[in-house]
Amino acid sequence: MKILPPLQIKALDAFTIKNEPISSIDLMERAASNAADYLLHYYPNKPFYIFCGNGNNGGDGLAIARLLTNALQSIHCYFIDLGKSISEDASINLERFKALAPDKIKLISNSAQLDNIPEDGIIIDALFGTGLNRPIEGPIAEIITQLNMLNRTVISIDIPSGLMAENSPHPKHPIIKATETLSFQMPKLSFLFPECDCYVGNWSLLNIGLSNSGIASSKTTNYFVDEEIPKVILKKRSRFAHKGTFGHALLIAGSYGKMGAAVLSGKACLKSGLGLLTCHIPHWGYQIMQTSVPEAMVNIDRSEMYFTQFPALDTYAAIGIGPGLNTKPNSAKAFEQLLINNQKPMLIDADALNLLAENPSLLKHLGSHTVLTPHPGEFKRLVGEWENDTEKLEKLKLFSKQHKCTTILKGAYTIICLADGTCYFNSTGNPGMASAGSGDVLSGIILSLLAQGYSCKDASILGVYLHGLSADIALNTESQESLIASDIINHLAAAFKEINNK
């Protein structure tokens, strides 16, 4: 699913109007009809308080008000009259609503004119849409501030008023704090920023039938990973396949006190379809690994407690390094030699990322065969601080381009950034994954896919999606509070089945 900026969305609307063909007012009616159906389904018999601006977003709100009135819902519609020109389609819908229910619309120009909204009242925000390009000021800013103070259910149409579609919010600028956002056709980039969560709330997509050919021809560097992409990426297995068919991975992980990370990563690797796994671990962890992951082979480091060497790499289809590793000087030297000598697909995580941050000269050894999986703290050590999520995304794209690697920035809507700066935002996962070991599981999954012959791009997109989907499925029996990393591994089978069934 493409994520398009406002100007391209506007162009897509125009393309649909021209080529479907459909009039702009009928396209607005289609969008409003879908939104009204949603409201009737999820909020039946509730009083609606609909706030409309003078642009096309206000036109959507006026059309929704009319449709809800026709459905015999309790409606209170407010049109913000600031003496400014009204868009053509909004004007048409204003006259239509006045003709239907003149007693249900009120023209207001300041917050003092707001009526009392009862606790069960549903506020519909249709003040400003994606065309907004400057902070809201004056009387409308006061109205937004007043609405936010009411602590009512607020549903924004397309985008919360005051929020920019592509940029982080400014803390001093008024923005509607929506409980839900009903977005048309595709998400807005800002929906995927942590800073915007308190404004967007839960968001849903309403398909309003914008031209498929127009969407296909629209260029973007940002995508939202829906269920269609993993279904296409996941390879079918041959009846005559054997363990050699599905790759041999080398996992370099673990140190004294951190063998659990190696165990979790190894288990996840094997549960993700890998044929053979060799774990290179310090001598102290030998019994732990042999007992905990009996399906894996074990290669022992000369050090009792830390990583200081690696085996010959010819045997392996892919290498993963980092979970529970440590950052000792001898480990840094061995890691440097590994980077210099390896040309196989490589996953770099956890302490291996910290070694990169401590030794920036090692970054020159990255390339198209490497996948990095930092969480925000590890990424800051690599690139420095950022002021907001917009800058964070820019730094992510710049880093991946500079080092020609795939970088996976973990978190809600985990971002997979390719070497050309193209970003894929993941759709699966839940807050229960904010738990120790979850990242080690992801490393194992992606390493497995790399060893099976998936490209860095496909292994990253599919691996992140599977990781989140497994955690989502685990919530059928677990809670977000009780979810642990092992639960994600235990539900990988169900995640693969769900993708295969679709």
Tens digit of each residue's pLDDT, the chain (502 residues): 999 999 999 999 999 999 999 999 999 999 999 999 999 999 999 999 999 999 999 999 999 999 999 999 999 999 998 777 899 999 999 999 999 999 999 999 999 999 899 999 999 999 999 988 889 999 999 999 999 999 999 999 999 999 999 999 988 899 999 999 999 999 999 999 999 999 999 999 999 999 999 999 999 999 999 999 999 999 999 999 999 999 999 999 999 999 999 999 999 999 999 999 999 999 999 999 999 999 999 999 999 999 999 999 999 999 999 999 999 999 999 999 999 999 999 999 999 999 999 999 999 999 999 999 999 999 999 999 999 999 999 999 999 999 999 999 999 999 999 999 999 999 999 999 999 999 999 999 999 999 999 999 999 999 999 999 999 999 999 999 999 999 999 999 999 999 998 7
Q: Listing from the earlier edge strand, what are the strands of the sheet with 202-206?
A: 105-108, 75-80, 48-52, 122-126, 153-157, 180-184, 202-206
pLDDT recorded at residue 172 = 85
CA dihedral (285, 334, 384, 196) in degrees, to 10, reads -40
Query: Of 265, 243, 250, 246, whose CA–CA distance to 311 is shortest?
Result: 250
Report in angstroms the alpha-carbon separations of 175 from 59, 112, 136. Answer: 20, 19, 8
Query: Of 380, 375, 321, whose CA–CA distance to 351 is shortest?
Result: 321
Provide the token pair at 165: 């579609």
Structural contact between residues 281 and 258, judged by C-beta atoms closer than 8 angstroms: no
pTM of the complete model: 0.96
The secondary structure of residue 206, as a DSSP letter, is: E
Please give the domain boundaries of the chain with CATH numbers for all domains: 6-219 (3.40.50.10260), 230-501 (3.40.1190.20)
Helix 350-358 / helix 376-383 crossing angle, nearest 10 deg:
20
CA distance 286 to 471: 29
pLDDT recorded at residue 171 = 81
Given CA atoms 41, 42, 48, 49 in this order, what sign does their dihedral have?
negative
